[in-house]
Chain A
Amino acid sequence: MPEVTLQKISVAGGTESAPPSGPALIEVKRLSLHYGATRALKEISITLPERLVTAFIGPSGCGKSTFLRCFNRMNDLIDNVRIEGVVKIGGHDIYGDDVDVIELRKRVGMVFQKSNPFPKSIYENIAYGLRLHGLKAKSELDGVIETSLRGAALWDEVKDRLHASALGLSGGQQQRLCIARAIAIKPEIILMDEPASALDPLATARIEDLILDLKRDYTIVIVTHNMQQAARISDHTAFFYLGELIEFDTTKKIFTNPTNKRTEDYVTGRFG
């Protein structure tokens, strides 16, 4: 049994061969993550291409969200976390000693599972990130805020109440605002941690359309529990199980003809 697992990892580790479309943007080599004595991620190696949507799927607790958070170093905030291995984005080791985490997070944006707009106005929600990165002039702010809200397909709904509190928006609108906030600072990668899991089907559909739209300009990595969602929006899919990367391939292959038995069981709903 362990041999089988190791074998599978090495298959996934050699992903340069697996789904080759597009130049590689994120390269992970033998990444392990420990919470205290527990190892949450085990020697994961994966290469994610540019300007495509990659979906991470797997049962709860399989480590997919933890892995996602390695890309913008949000795991740094948790005490007792130890990370081994290499994560390179655009050829740079993001865990290097000289890395400015703030600059990294500017380039790797994130959208969370539960929409979390600040208790400020819609305008201020987006302006906050922009100001953090030095954009101060009102006219410029106005411009970028409008573009971002249009980019997140929210502009028409909120243009008349930009200065009203963001908490007055519906759940779906709040999540799109969070996406607008993330894209306002022009990241290259957007990490999405189950962005639609708290939304109704209609709002989910809008978010999914938006993701397909954003794909043109951004590299998107999305964690999802919803298999149909992964099938609908992603180009590549990675299946995680108990902290290991079991299989990584094109979404089509994962859902129609997976190599690994466990992947097949999971995507066909036999466990998970």
Chain B
Amino acid sequence: MSHGHTTGKRTAGWMGIHRGHQARPVERLAEWFIVGVSFSTIAVVFLIFIFVGKEALPLLLGRENSALLTEVIPAADLEKIPPAKLRAYLDLTPEQFAAMDKETLKALMEVREEALKEIPEEVRKDQDARVNTTEWRYLVLPHQWSGYDKPEYIWQPVGNIHKYNLVPLIVGSLKTTLIGLAFAVPLALGAAIYVSQLARPRVKEWVKPGIELLSGIPSVVMGTFALIVMASFFQKIFGYEVRLNAFVAGIALGLAVIPLVFSIAEDALTSVPRAYTQAALALGASKWQAAYQVVLPSALPGVFAAVVLGFGRAIGETMIVLLVCSASVMSWSIFDSARSITTTIAAEMAEAVSGGHHYRILFLLGAFLFAVTFVINLIGDVVIHRLKTQLEGKRA
């Protein structure tokens, strides 16, 4: 007769519409959960950045001193010098410093005095021994270290004089990444165009999973393969001098990046409406012309996103470069060795004294990498957004 009578459980008449948020409790819970997960992801990224930044902060503020030689402060002067200076002299964290009583401090000062006195005479004469190598100019500018005949960029974190120039590592990362992308992007895009536009379904069924299978190879395996097989092979072909170089690392990196770029670009190309291809063909375009002149430009935002992600993957990849080449030489030549930022962090973090200047430099590198990837992604987003508005005919 009237609504509400069909199911006995419901409240009579229109009362049922007042159930509000109690109506679908499971869906509501699930929604909360998903929202929670997405926000916590953002929070975790943010926390990681805070953590990395915090560890690198003392360096940025100039509070680190890596100089080997400092003026000896006699233990008797304990009362006379300001606490901040004493803390720096003893290389203690504020917490450690606060926890110590005068006796301990005095003992530490004596130990420090001993240590300083034990430094051999030839090192003592080295002008570099008094240099704080964590200052900005030593990190980014070339410096003529004693024993060198011209200013150079040098990364030598271990030794009497800690040489922390970041430029060779940045160049190393850029070199391997760019070689990798230069190799991977054309191949991956070509394959994506072929598979999505030109290949027969039967061929597509084989090629697509085949390429995507590449992404299943662990980078450690890929690196080993490059180290043993590819390096010798390329040396035979190109006849260069340094067997393990940025070129080999870049190609191996490219192999790791291809499946990623391929699968995103292929998705983007496949999602271009078939109607565009049909229109082009009906106008008398060949399959190739339709693919290159109509489909590719229409899929450009997605293709660009694929390249940006490929860049992120390549610059963040550690294992391959670590295995293939790791000498930190400052050279733009692709046939010289290279040491990337990630490789450096992976190889040296375990040996660096927690809280020491080497440790902080490695965190600085991490923060730098984070910033680079962030900026590249940001630029990528802006470009993709622009391309999309352009394609969709909206005013930007």
In the complex, whether B120 has a CB less than 8 A from a CB of chain A is no
In the complex, whether B279 has a CB less than 8 A from a CB of chain A is yes
**Chain B residues near A (Cβ < 8 Å):** 200-201, 273, 275-276, 278-286, 289, 293-294, 297-298, 390-394
Chain A residues in 8 Å Cβ range of B394: 165, 168
**Chain A residues near B (Cβ < 8 Å):** 72, 74, 77, 79, 102-103, 105-106, 109-110, 112, 114, 116-120, 128-129, 132-133, 164-169, 178, 181-182, 185
Name the residue of chain B whose CB is nearest to the CB of A133. B284
Known: A72-B282, A105-B281, A118-B280. 15 other contacts (CB 8 A): A77-B281, A79-B201, A105-B283, A109-B282, A118-B294, A120-B297, A128-B280, A129-B284, A132-B283, A132-B284, A132-B289, A165-B391, A165-B394, A181-B279, A181-B283
Contact of B282 among A74, A103, A119, A164 (CB under 8 A): A74
Question: Would you call A79 and B200 a contact (CB within 8 A)?
Answer: yes
Question: Would you call A74 and B281 a contact (CB within 8 A)?
Answer: yes
Contact of A116 among B201, B278, B289, B393 (CB under 8 A): B278
Question: Would you call B275 and A119 a contact (CB within 8 A)?
Answer: no
Question: Would you call A185 and B390 a contact (CB within 8 A)?
Answer: no
CA distance A105 to B391 in the complex (A): 27
Smallest CB–CB gap between B317 and chain A, Å?
34
Contact of A119 among B201, B278, B392 (CB under 8 A): B392
Smallest CB–CB gap between B296 and chain A, Å?
12
Question: Would you call B283 and A178 a contact (CB within 8 A)?
Answer: no
17 examples of A-B residue contacts, CB within 8 angstroms: A77-B278, A102-B284, A103-B284, A106-B284, A109-B282, A114-B275, A118-B279, A118-B280, A119-B276, A119-B298, A128-B280, A128-B293, A129-B283, A129-B284, A165-B390, A165-B394, A181-B283
CA distance A38 to B54 in the complex (A): 70
CA distance A190 to B329 in the complex (A): 67
How many A-B contacts at CB < 8 Å in the complex? Answer: 76
Chain A residues in 8 Å Cβ range of B294: 118, 128
CA distance A93 to B245 in the complex (A): 61
Q: Known: A105-B283, A132-B283, A132-B284. Is A116-B276 also a contact (CB below 8 A)?
A: yes
Chain A residues in 8 Å Cβ range of B297: 119-120
Q: Known: A120-B297, A133-B284. Is A178-B393 also a contact (CB below 8 A)?
A: no
CA distance A207 to B282 in the complex (A): 20
Chain A residues in 8 Å Cβ range of B283: 105-106, 109, 128-129, 132, 181-182, 185
Question: Would you call A116 and B275 a contact (CB within 8 A)?
Answer: yes
Smallest CB–CB gap between B208 and chain A, Å?
17
Contact of A112 among B278, B390, B391 (CB under 8 A): B278
Chain A residues in 8 Å Cβ range of B201: 79
Question: Would you call B392 and A112 a contact (CB within 8 A)?
Answer: no
CA distance A84 to B286 in the complex (A): 24
Contact of B284 among A168, A169, A185 (CB under 8 A): A185
Question: Would you call B278 and A74 a contact (CB within 8 A)?
Answer: yes
Chain A residues in 8 Å Cβ range of B391: 119, 165, 167
Smallest CB–CB gap between B370 and chain A, Å?
35
Smallest CB–CB gap between A238 and chain B, Å?
21
Q: Known: A118-B298, A120-B297, A129-B284. Is A165-B393 also a contact (CB below 8 A)?
A: yes
CA distance A167 to B280 in the complex (A): 16
Chain A residues in 8 Å Cβ range of B284: 102-103, 105-106, 129, 132-133, 185
Smallest CB–CB gap between A100 and chain B, Å?
9
Smallest CB–CB gap between B215 and chain A, Å?
29
Question: Would you call B282 and A165 a contact (CB within 8 A)?
Answer: no
Chain B residues in 8 Å Cβ range of A102: 284-286
Smallest CB–CB gap between A55 and chain B, Å?
20
Chain B residues in 8 Å Cβ range of A106: 283-284
Name the residue of chain B whose CB is nearest to the CB of A166. B393
CA distance A111 to B293 in the complex (A): 20
Q: Known: A79-B200, A168-B393. Is A112-B285 also a contact (CB below 8 A)?
A: no
Name the residue of chain A whose CB is nearest to the CB of B300. A119
Chain A residues in 8 Å Cβ range of B273: 116
CA distance A185 to B390 in the complex (A): 26
CA distance A63 to B223 in the complex (A): 57
Smallest CB–CB gap between A56 and chain B, Å?
17
Smallest CB–CB gap between B299 and chain A, Å?
10
